[in-house]
A and B are shown apart, each in its own frame.
Chain A
């Protein structure tokens, strides 16, 4: 190997090489962080909600006018929905998981210790919640029908039992297995006492990128504020056919309300992730363009230096270099340049990530992203240079003696 001479030769002739190293540094910095963000986004997008997503639809009912009776409407709507053919179960709820709108609260194991609060989404629903969403009850029991409270807006809430997710139980009682926390009492920010009656394996909050993505508390409560989300789980195969029928059926019951958002859970997901999908696409394009430009830059520098060194290459061939040695010369040279680029790039990558972590809602990069990115750019460099280097290695040794 002629590593030493290649390095010394580069050091005496650094402008072009430095520019390429700089380009590789910037590319590494941007693409590793971009791919990390893409990866993080797609994790949010593919995270399971805990719901039987394929069979679920929801619709929003908003009552208006003097004659609207929230309680009677709710009871009637639920009865009608549950009676529809192809409907497995239906429930009323204050917010839809993964929809990006809902309400959250702080909870603590000792009353008033707000600094210890665990954030969680609050879902208010009835004893059909678990069955309708298709949640998996891993400990304790479901609500019984007579536990369900009708809550008038503006009135104080009372102590109650609740169903929490495994993640919530573990967040409240980090030292204990979730299943052992049945019967324990914790507190909401307004100091109402909440006793754990059941635990479900998973139920996502409405905000997929929240850092408490699976901390959910289900209250046995129907809010009589006029606005109801109805969640409907259809028998397999009935969803699409039932979707318009849900709206028609509810519309026929009552003309003192409007119906909105009649959509499948899949549509809800799509709408929620429009910005993430857009960001992912833009970042993917940026990554591709940067890789392409860097590849072109490397090819350009290689072609330029090879043309400038035709005489030298011919001389090397005359002095005994075979094709392989010439090819290797340029591969090694590119490797040296790229190595400088990726080393500084690695430092810049971590620096940019720290900046993003400090200024935006982003978790720190996993360490292996950095070496993986370095490897990718080193390979890109070799691939970009192999064409020009190959042509250089095919140059006739007679080039040494001719004035071309």
Chain B
């Protein structure tokens, strides 16, 4: 469902060129759970941003569901993000002034769904992460793990086929992280494709497929037959 050919990304800051990604060739199939590892600054976030249409590659071709999205305009990219892709961020990125209900509602409103359908999806998504009863709470009234579960609910409410997570457990203690991970595995088991950046070697080792990046290039793309649920 995702196919990258010779993807490169060069940042230009003043006179300084930074090659964040170079010659990335990659194919991810529907239903996969891929982890991405690599040292800080190697280009993991940049990869995720390009995969999630948050940023344009400066070289190469990117096919999403067979459609070439490398040259789409902003409006079409926004629409694709909204409909096909769910995002989970390391620092949750919830709207601090909106309660959980309104937070999960944000992408649904951008999709232009009716009130009734939005309500149903929000209830389902928040129930799924066990936080429906706290829908009136503000993010600040929740623990980190709970906030990340709200973010997952927000990502899932639009039923995306494709979930991108940038170190989703990076700000959580290991017990809470395990809870979030099992939630992600559950989601993956129901068919959602997940690409997750992590710096946790245990998570990477247990993943069915792990891509290791170094200096903007894929150093290792390892597939395993057995996946252990963390």
Contact = CB atoms under 8 A, between A and B. Distances in A.
A22 B99 CA distance: 27
A402 B110 CA distance: 22
Contact of B102 (A8, A316, A400, A401): A8
Nearest to A394: B74
B54 A401 contact: yes
Contacts of A42: none
A319 B53 CA distance: 11
B3 interface: no
Given A8-B98, A12-B97, A319 B75 contact: no
A2 B109 contact: yes
A13 B54 contact: no
Contact of B45 (A9, A315, A318, A401): A401
A397 B95 contact: no
A401 B48 CA distance: 9
Contacts of B97: 8-10, 12-13
Contacts of B109: 2, 5
Interface stretch (A89-97, A162-170, A321-329): A321-329
Interface string B19-56: 00000000000000000000000000100110011110
A320 B83 contact: yes
Contacts of B78: 317, 320-322, 397
Interface residues of B, number: 34
Interface string A263-304: 000000000000000000000000000000000000000000
Contacts of A317: 54, 78
B81 A397 contact: yes
A396 interface: yes
Contacts of A396: 54-55
Nearest to B87: A318
Contacts of A2: 109
Contact of B79 (A5, A10, A318, A320): A320
A396 B96 CA distance: 20
A402 B91 CA distance: 10
A347 interface: no
Contacts of B75: 322-323
B212 interface: no
Interface string B146-176: 0000000010001000000010000000000
A239 interface: no
A311 interface: yes
A312 interface: yes
Nearest to A397: B54
B55 A5 contact: no
B216 interface: no
A2 B110 CA distance: 9
A398 B105 CA distance: 21
B89 interface: yes
Contacts of A311: 91, 93
B138 interface: yes
B71 interface: no
Interface string A1-37: 0101100111011000000000000000000000000
28 contacts: A5-B109, A8-B97, A8-B98, A9-B95, A9-B102, A312-B95, A316-B110, A318-B52, A318-B54, A318-B93, A319-B82, A319-B106, A320-B82, A320-B83, A321-B78, A322-B75, A322-B79, A323-B75, A397-B53, A397-B54, A397-B55, A397-B78, A397-B81, A398-B49, A398-B55, A400-B54, A401-B45, A401-B54
List 7 A-B pairs, minimum CB-CB distance, nearest first.
A320-B82, A320-B110, A9-B97, A319-B107, A397-B54, A322-B78, A315-B93
